[in-house]
């Protein structure tokens, strides 16, 4: 197949490129050239900003496009309109953040999505898109904007859009470090601060499993909406951290600290303490780690063993360790201070 990827230079995009090339597809990337990419002699590069340079896509023909970088509905609409006569299928990488209410477990693809007020949409449109844009750029508006992006693509290309809603994506080249923090921290050994209840479930997906499945879905001309994450209620935080210890042969010891203590110390959930969503303080978010992905599983999505994901994440992190600082998690000093204060209260 002839595939176009909008983006393709960071994390999921990088792995989509790898998966597409492994399956011998003819590949074109459209991106701004702001992130270094390995030499890809058999990949066509079109350089441009999707917010203002979609005209550069005219005059080409592809079988399908995978849009990894759509955050604003008007930009997705413009891309879909520019490609309407050039492609048979449009795959949009959305997010599980689209859903309106996470108070219940088992949300499937039919659950209501979030909406924005006209004022919020105006605020989103005013954000400077000339620099790096990510989910953090749009804050609490991110999910609703992704839902609007999905609808914009479907409006332009009815019946030709595949909407993929990934959960937490983990693995090599993850610039958020939410999973990498835990693998690296446990591997470092010593006393590790762990948040809340050990048996709380977590849910995520290895980026390679997601990328390979997306490419296969494109090959098979699937359309419609698919939640894409690991199976719910299969991995607890304790299971994950114990697996990190086993894979790294670490001497780490886990100290489980109460949520009330962490909140009193103003530890930030999800970023400063990755994968932690306080159960009492954030009841409206508990369903985020219990999403129904049966539809994707029926369509062939499979997840590799947890130990393999941890091992390969650690290999990648070790290779990068001298050149980058983790973007999530407690600093060593902050963790030590919290542990000392916790022990003093017990």
Q: Is residue 217 part of a domain?
A: no
pLDDT for position 133: 67
pLDDT for position 47: 92
Output the six-digit token pair for 38. 């390995």
Whether residue 241 contacts residue 310, with contact meaning beta carbons closer than 8 Å, is answered with: no
Residue owning tokens 């835990």:
182
Which residues face 236 on adjacent strands? 201
Domain boundary among 115, 147, 166: 166
Q: Output the CA angle 269-270-275, nearest 5 degrees.
A: 115
Residue 261 to residue 245: CA distance in whole angstroms:
25
- Residue 30's H or E segment, with its range, is strand 26-31
Q: Do 35 and 153 fall into the same domain? A: yes
pLDDT for position 296: 98
Residue owning tokens 């601060």:
193
DSSP secondary structure string for all residues of 163-227 = EEEE--EESTT-SS-HHHHHHHHHHH-SEEEEES-TT-EE--EEHHHHHHHHHHHHHTT--EEEE
pLDDT for position 154: 98
| Torsion-angle region of 81 (φ positive above 0: left; ψ -120 to 50: alpha; else: beta) | alpha
pLDDT for position 42: 81
Residue 210 to residue 229: CA distance in whole angstroms:
8
Q: Do 187 and 331 fall into the same domain? A: yes
Residue 287 to residue 127: CA distance in whole angstroms:
30
Q: Do 65 and 51 fall into the same domain? A: yes
Q: Do 129 and 193 fall into the same domain? A: no
Residue 32 to residue 45: CA distance in whole angstroms:
10
Cβ neighbours, 10 Å, residue 274? 24
Q: Do 182 and 255 fall into the same domain? A: yes
How far does CA 336 lie from the centroid of its chain? 29
User: What is the domain-level CATH number for residue 312?
Assistant: 3.90.25.10
pLDDT for position 33: 73
Q: Do 130 and 18 fall into the same domain? A: yes
Whether residue 67 contacts residue 92, with contact meaning beta carbons closer than 8 Å, is answered with: yes
pLDDT for position 134: 67
Nearest Cα neighbor of 217 from 170, 292, 171, 165 is 165
Output the six-digit token pair for 178. 């939410």
User: What is the domain-level CATH number for residue 121?
Assistant: 3.40.50.720
Q: Do 133 and 176 fall into the same domain? A: no
pLDDT for position 64: 98
Q: Do 264 and 159 fall into the same domain? A: no
Q: Do 252 and 125 fall into the same domain? A: no
Q: Do 183 and 264 fall into the same domain? A: yes
Domain boundary among 146, 166, 186: 166
pLDDT for position 138: 83
Residue-wise pLDDT tens for the chain (346 aa)?
Answer: 999 999 878 899 999 999 999 999 999 999 987 666 666 778 999 999 988 899 999 999 999 999 999 999 999 999 999 999 999 999 999 999 999 999 999 999 999 999 999 898 888 888 777 766 667 778 889 999 999 999 999 999 999 999 999 999 999 999 999 999 999 999 999 999 999 999 999 999 999 999 999 999 999 999 999 999 999 999 999 999 999 999 999 999 999 999 999 999 999 999 999 999 999 899 999 999 999 999 999 999 999 999 999 999 999 999 986 667 899 999 999 999 999 999 999 8
Overall number of domains in the chain: 2
Q: Do 155 and 282 fall into the same domain? A: no
Residue 144 to residue 173: CA distance in whole angstroms:
26
Q: Is residue 214 part of a domain?
A: no
Q: Do 83 and 176 fall into the same domain? A: no
Domain range for residue 194? Answer: 171-203+231-286+305-346
Residue 290 to residue 107: CA distance in whole angstroms:
8
């Amino acid at each position: 197949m002839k595939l176009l990827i909008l983006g393709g230079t960071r994390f999921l995009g990088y792995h989509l490129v790898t998966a597409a090339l492994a399956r011998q597809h003819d590949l074109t990337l459209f991106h701004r050239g702001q992130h270094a990419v390995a030499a890809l002699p058999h990949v066509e590069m079109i350089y441009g900003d999707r917010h203002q340079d979609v005209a550069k896509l005219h005059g080409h023909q592809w079988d399908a496009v995978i849009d990894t970088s759509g955050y604003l509905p008007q930009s997705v609409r413009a891309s879909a309109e520019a490609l309407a006569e050039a492609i048979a299928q449009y795959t949009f990488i959305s997010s599980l953040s689209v859903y309106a209410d996470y108070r219940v477990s088992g949300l499937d693809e039919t659950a209501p999505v979030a909406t924005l007020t006209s004022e919020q949409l105006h605020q989103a449109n005013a954000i400077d898109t000339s620099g790096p844009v990510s989910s953090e750029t749009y804050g609490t508006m991110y999910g609703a904007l992704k839902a609007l992006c999905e609808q914009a693509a479907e409006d332009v290309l009815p019946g030709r859009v595949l909407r993929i809603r990934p959960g937490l994506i983990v693995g090599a080249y993850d610039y958020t470090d939410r999973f990498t923090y835990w693998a690296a921290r446990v591997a470092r050994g010593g006393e590790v601060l762990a948040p809340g209840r050990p048996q709380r479930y977590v849910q995520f997906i290895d980026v390679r499993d997601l990328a390979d499945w997306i490419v296969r879905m494109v090959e098979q001309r699937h359309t419609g909406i698919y939640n894409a994450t690991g199976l719910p209620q299969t991995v607890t935080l304790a299971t994950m951290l114990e697996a990190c210890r086993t894979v790294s042969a670490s001497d780490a010891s886990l100290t489980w600290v109460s949520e009330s203590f962490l909140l009193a110390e103003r530890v930030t959930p999800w970023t400063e303490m990755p994968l932690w969503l306080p159960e009492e303080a954030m009841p409206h978010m508990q369903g985020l780690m219990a999403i129904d992905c049966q539809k994707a599983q029926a369509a062939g999505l499979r997840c590799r063993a947890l130990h393999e994901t941890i091992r390969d994440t650690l290999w990648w992190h070790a290779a990068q360790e001298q050149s980058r600082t983790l973007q999530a998690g407690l600093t060593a000093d902050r963790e030590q201070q919290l542990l000392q204060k916790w022990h003093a209260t017990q």
